[in-house]
């Protein structure tokens, strides 16, 4: 919704498809999700290269905004990456 309002372009599907296709041990795209009662309420897509994690894209379902799912999710991504040695 905000992308339309601000006239921002979404990431092209081909970019995401290639990021998954060419992922390997040293560089990869990882998608994380946060769920509430079996409903995905937020997501975060990251690019990982060596020991660097880049938060590429986040999204959330509007009706769950009050839970601030992406605030929680980014912290969980940090913890997960740290555990994995990234």
Q: Is the pLDDT of residue 3 over 70?
A: no
What the block records as the tokens of 57 is: 């894209």
pLDDT at 1 (0 to 100): 58
**Any idea what the Cα angle at residue 73 is, between residues 72 and 76, rounded to 5°?**
95
What pLDDT does residue 35 have?
Answer: 92
User: What pLDDT shows up at residue 25?
Assistant: 62
Rounded to the nearest 10 degrees, how much is the dihedral formed by the CA atoms of 11, 17, 20, 21?
A: -150
What is the sign of the dihedral through the CA atoms of 9, 12, 13 and 15?
Answer: negative
Sequence-distant (≥ 6) Cβ neighbours of residue 55 within 8 angstroms: 44, 45, 46, 74, 77
Rounded Cα–Cα distance for residues 24 and 49 (Å): 10
């Amino acid at each position: 919704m905000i992308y339309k309002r601000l006239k921002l372009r979404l990431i092209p599907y081909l970019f995401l498809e290639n990021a998954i296709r060419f992922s390997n041990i040293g560089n990869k795209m990882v998608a994380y999700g946060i769920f509430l009662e079996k409903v995905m309420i937020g997501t975060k897509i990251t690019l990982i290269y060596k020991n660097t994690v880049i938060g590429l894209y986040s999204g959330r379902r509007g009706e769950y905004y009050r839970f601030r799912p992406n605030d929680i999710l980014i912290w969980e991504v940090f913890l997960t990456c740290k555990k994995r040695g990234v």
